[in-house]
Structure 1
Amino acid sequence: MKLQPVIPFEPVLAAQLPSGGEWIAQIKWDGVRMLSYYDGSHAELINRRGNRRTPQYPELAEPRSYCRAGSFILDGEVIALSGGKPSFHEVMRRDSLKNEAAIRAVRPQVPVLYMVFDILYCNGLWLLDQPLSRRQQYLNEMLLPHPHVQNVPSYANPAELFSAAQSGSLEGIVCKDVNSTYAPGGKDKRWQKRKIISDVTAVAGGVTFRDGIVNALLFGLYDDKGKLHYIGHAGAGRMTAANWRNVTAAAHRLTVPKMPFAALPQRSKDAVWIKPELVFKLHFLEWNSSGTFRQPVIQAQVDLPPQSCRIEQKG
């Protein structure tokens, strides 16, 4: 592929919704950030880490079927639905697969949608320095009707969209300055996310066992000095029996004698310490005053580096 992977621009977490005529709002999809590349002859799907995901989503393998541009880079989110709402757990059933036969088997069980919200490159021209409003014009002109691809709608009133997202129990919204250019690898207040469902990406530094199988994980986040701070434990969630067996095998491989956390966790009885390598996405209700999360629910294991699990996620 001639086009080199781009690290996507990220929104920052906001406590309040921005106001002003320059802001538009979009639904925050609980999926997998994905960029679609087509250089005129070769197509690839690449995730935010720069990893190839083309085989996992064969319904998106023909880019000319959903974009009329001769070459392009699209930015968006691959999602899967459960009960009519985006489910991170469901999309990870597709994203985590490597075997072609397994992908073919799961594809009809877990249909996906590619929710496209930006275009970075079009017909040989980079659009990074164009304002978002102009990039959206390009996107409207170039996207074609497709059963697995949708152009993410924008709304002029963030407060109204946030209220609708709350009513629908969706993850949240993203507010974007229509004048914003696109900064690869950047993250600033020109894009702001306001969450309804709190989530965190955390690394496991310990486990507990029941009948020889891991039944709970002890989670932590890193500070700027590289210290791992305990934020709580979780065993409930969307994990299947097969998931727990895989985690158990990994825990045996990663067992270490020294505790990786900066301070002894409140739940340390019967804990087995592991090298912090296993990263998970969790939903939770709120942060306790003690710095731990309340009512965490594991969504899925994710392919992210442990050092990306930063304490800044606590806002």
Structure 2
Amino acid sequence: MEPIVPFEPVLVKEISVGREYIAQIKWDGVRILTYFDGKGVRLFNRKKNERTAHYPELTAVDAYSGADSFVLDGEVIALSKEGKPSFHQVMKRDGLRSPVKIERRKYEIPIFYMVFDLLYLNGKWLFSTPFFRREELLHRTIRGNRTVHLVESFPSPARLKQVVEEQGLEGIVVKEKNSLYLPGGKDRRWQKWKKSQILTATIGGMVEKGGEVRSLLLGLPEEGGLSYIGHVGTGSLNEKERRKMLELLLPLLTQENPFGKGGGVPKTFSWLIPIINVKVRFLEWTEKGTLRQPVLEEILGEGEG
């Protein structure tokens, strides 16, 4: 059974409403398709990279299904200390390669598989089956347990959007009840609306030009140094604020890279002792674990946040 590229929702500012639509919570995690051919299980992400070894909890299919074969579509998530889905947490599992570390993290960072679609059942692809029917089959095929959960559908997208905003969740996905599943497709039959998120991050580097701070290198504290999550411009600050920030950061210049072994850290920044925190608003996490469309909201100062 060859892996497919999953169907993707279109990002929208205003969601569609009406009887022909349902809404689901958009879970902040890693898109994972589970393939069971009756003999063995394989897991793949949206780019068709295998993740079977990363999430061994999902390979014991007898624990959640009695079907002869199936393909599931869903999101693997992990929770923060506050009990909310955290992309940063799940990436601590998804980025591992060592079997020893994977086994240890399985207990340190438990994952949950939020299943929202059934694409193949008992030898037959369901691409020509409408969503509402696939969902019925999904609920008959999969038994939820401690790790595997069936994503609930709600009749009112507007009401669910309100709840998501109140609870501080990532967003919602709106789907046409009659929508067919198109591998590799992306259109308005599925729509996603995302609430911008707020994060406290630590400054690990800066770019200075003309006596002002122009950009900040950000990370989250981890064992062995900061975990790189991207950089943010200072365009949201006025000239006076950018100069004041430079005065704050200049005494923190260092030759030592404050970031851990993670890749993707730009080399054009001046390193800083990582003690100043900032509040950043962003749209979502990228698959590389960096912030998408970050905007600097507030300088919190040393140890604040």
Give yes or no for TM over 0.5.
yes
- The 2-side partners of 1:30 and 1:151 are apart by 15
Please give the per-residue CA displacement for 1:34-92, whole angstroms capped at 9, x wherever unaligned.
Answer: 00000010111111111111111111111232122110000000000111210000111
Q: Where does 1:173-212 land on structure 2 (aligned, <5 Å)?
A: 173-197=172-196
- The 2-side partners of 1:27 and 1:217 are apart by 37
8 Å contact kept, 1:9–1:186: yes
The two structures have a TM-score, normalised by structure 2, of 0.72
Matched, 1:124 2:113: no
- The 1-side partners of 2:55 and 2:131 are apart by 27
- Give 1:72's match in structure 2, choosing from 53, 65, 70: 70
Amino acid in structure 1 at the alignment position of 2:19: G
Please name the residue that 2:162 is paired with: 163
- Give 1:30's match in structure 2, choosing from 28, 31, 56: 28
What secondary structure is seen at the aligned counterpart in 1 of 2:39? coil
- Give 2:204's match in structure 1, choosing from 215, 218, 222: 215
Please name the residue that 1:136 is paired with: 135
Please name the residue that 2:5 is paired with: 7
Shift of 1:247: 4.1
- The percent identity for this pair of structures is 42
Distance 1:233 1:42, change over 3 A: farther
Structure whose alpha-carbon radius of gyration is higher: 2
What secondary structure is seen at the aligned counterpart in 2 of 1:139? helix
- The 1-side partners of 2:2 and 2:293 are apart by 36
Please give the per-residue CA displacement for 1:125-154, whole angstroms capped at 9, x wherever unaligned.
Answer: 110111000100110100113210000000
Please name the residue that 1:39 is paired with: 37
Please name the residue that 1:90 is paired with: 89
- The 1-side partners of 2:48 and 2:206 are apart by 28
What secondary structure is seen at the aligned counterpart in 2 of 1:246? coil
- Give 2:218's match in structure 1, choosing from 230, 236, 258: 236
8 Å contact kept, 2:219–2:226: no
Please name the residue that 1:16 is paired with: 14
The two structures have a TM-score, normalised by structure 1, of 0.70
Runs in 1 of length 4+ with deviation above 4 angstroms? 268-271
Amino acid in structure 2 at the alignment position of 1:238: L
Please name the residue that 1:304 is paired with: none
- The 1-side partners of 2:54 and 2:33 are apart by 14
Matched, 1:99 2:98: yes
What secondary structure is seen at the aligned counterpart in 2 of 1:108? helix
Q: Where does 1:41-60 land on structure 2 (aligned, <5 Å)?
A: 41-60=39-58
Please name the residue that 1:245 is paired with: 260
Shift of 1:216: 3.9
Please name the residue that 2:303 is paired with: none
Please name the residue that 1:281 is paired with: 290
